[in-house]
Structures are given as C-alpha cells and as structure tokens.
C-alpha cells in the first residue's frame, strides 16, 4: 500500500506547534511506516510537491509571502489542517493588529535599533495590514486548537485520518491548551 503524502508548513508562528508534533516521540516511528513527509521545516525539500494528502499548517497569515504560500498549498492539498491557535485564530502574531504596519516597522527597525535605522524594503516579506487566521483566506478541513496543540491530539488526528476517519476533537482540544 502506498504511503500517505504529508507536508507541514510554518507561517507566522513560533515553531512550538512543530515541536509538539515531534513530541509524539516514539509513536513517530509507527507514523513513519504509513506516512511520507514530503515538505516542511523538518525535511530538506525546497519546493511544495505537486500533490499531498494532508498538510498541517502552523502559524497565522501575516505577510504577502504567507498568503501566496497558503493559496498554493491549498491548491495542492487534499486535507488542510490548521495546527495550533495561531493558525486557528491569529493568536500571538495577531497582537500586532492594534497597530498599523508602519508603526510596527518603525518600532522594530527604527526605535529599537542603534544602527541602520531603516525599515527594509526588500528581502523581508511585505506585511499584510492585519494578521489573520488561515481559514479567512482558504478553506480549512480540520482545526486543531492549542498553543501548542498537545502531541496526543496531533497523533490522534493523524491516526484517525490514516484510518480513513475524520477526527473529532470536541472533547479533547481547547484554545491555549
Ligand atoms: S499556536 Fe502557540 S505554539 Fe503554535 S505557533 Fe502559535 S504561539 Fe507557537
């Protein structure tokens, strides 16, 4: 039987959700027998594959680069999972939403800098006016709340999908858990 193709993506998040994925510990070995991890910060792949069965998305949509990335990923993914409170609600990165982009850049690159007091105009992705959760831009199939989501819940979600079932997290997941 061919393995299920899986990708993970890191948008505007702290990597804590990916750390929680690794916290599955020895159960990763069982998953590895059924999953091919094709793309993400945990593997050395530069280009998102033509097609994957499941993509786990950590982080909110914060920049034009994030937005282009999530749209492309959605078009090449069967089941898209918002992994963690940043992806599900905006959470920590959306705390900047009470400021304008100019205020954020000024605070970061001018007020808090001793040298080269200038906001970058290239290389650093252009920020969107607001940080928003993933489902405000693309359709999301499964939401896994938590900051970070527990390893047990991530394992449960993947295990259910591998068994051909849609996971039900109503009783086990909560925001900020
Ligand atoms: S949900 Fe929490 S752990 Fe995950 S990226 Fe956001 S801040 Fe980090």
Which of 13, 20, 145 to probe ligand 1 with, by most ligand atoms within 8 A of CB?
Answer: 13
How far apart are alpha carbons 12 and 21 in whole angstroms?
Answer: 17
Q: Indicate whether this model's pTM tops 0.85.
A: yes
Task: Please enumerate in sequence order all residues whose Cβ is within 8 A of that of 118, keeping only pairs 6 or more positions apart, or say none.
Answer: 109, 110
Q: Note the Cα 44 to chain centre separation in Å.
A: 17
Average pLDDT over residues 72-83: 98
Q: How far, in Å, is the centroid of ligand 1 from the Cα of 1?
A: 34
Q: pLDDT digits over 30-61, tens only?
A: 999 999 999 999 999 999 999 999 999 999 99
Average pLDDT over residues 138-160: 97
Q: What is the pLDDT of residue 88?
A: 98
Q: What is the pLDDT of residue 155?
A: 97
Q: How far, in Å, is the centroid of ligand 1 from the Cα of 142?
A: 17
Share of the chain above pLDDT 70, in %: 99
Q: How far, in Å, is the centroid of ligand 1 from the Cα of 72?
A: 22
Structure tokens at 162: 């591998």
Structure tokens at 147: 């900051």
Residue 71 has pLDDT above 90, yes or no: yes
How far apart are alpha carbons 175 and 145 in whole angstroms?
Answer: 5
Q: What is the pLDDT of residue 177?
A: 73
The pLDDT-based confidence of 27 (bands split at 50, 70, 90) is: very high
Q: What is the pLDDT of residue 10?
A: 97
CB of 49 closer than 8 Å to CB of 39:
yes
**Eight-class DSSP state of 47:** S
Task: Please enumerate in sequence order all residues whose Cβ is within 8 A of that of 68, keeping only pairs 6 or more positions apart, or say none.
Answer: none
- What is the residue with the minimal CA distance to atom 6 of ligand 1? 86
Q: What is the pLDDT of residue 171?
A: 78
Q: What is the pLDDT of residue 1?
A: 67
The pLDDT-based confidence of 2 (bands split at 50, 70, 90) is: confident
How far apart are alpha carbons 91 and 52 in whole angstroms?
Answer: 27
- What is the average pLDDT score of the chain? 95
């Amino acid at each position: 039987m061919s393995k299920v193709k899986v990708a993970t993506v890191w948008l505007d998040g702290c990597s804590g959700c990916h750390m929680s994925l690794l916290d599955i510990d020895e159960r990763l070995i069982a998953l590895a027998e059924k999953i091919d991890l094709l793309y993400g910060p945990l593997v050395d792949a530069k280009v998102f594959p033509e097609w994957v069965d499941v993509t786990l998305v950590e982080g909110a949509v914060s920049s034009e680069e994030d937005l282009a990335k999530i749209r492309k990923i959605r078009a090449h993914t069967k089941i898209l999972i918002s992994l963690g409170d940043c992806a599900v609600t905006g959470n920590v990165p959306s705390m900047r939403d009470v400021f304008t982009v100019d205020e954020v850049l000024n605070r970061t690159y001018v007020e808090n800098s001793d040298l080269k007091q200038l906001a970058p105009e290239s290389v650093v992705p252009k920020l969107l006016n607001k940080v928003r959760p993933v489902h405000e831009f693309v359709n999301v199939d499964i939401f896994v709340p938590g900051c970070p989501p527990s390893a047990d819940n991530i394992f449960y979600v993947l295990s259910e999908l591998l068994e051909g079932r849609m996971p039900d997290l109503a009783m086990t997941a909560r925001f900020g858990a």
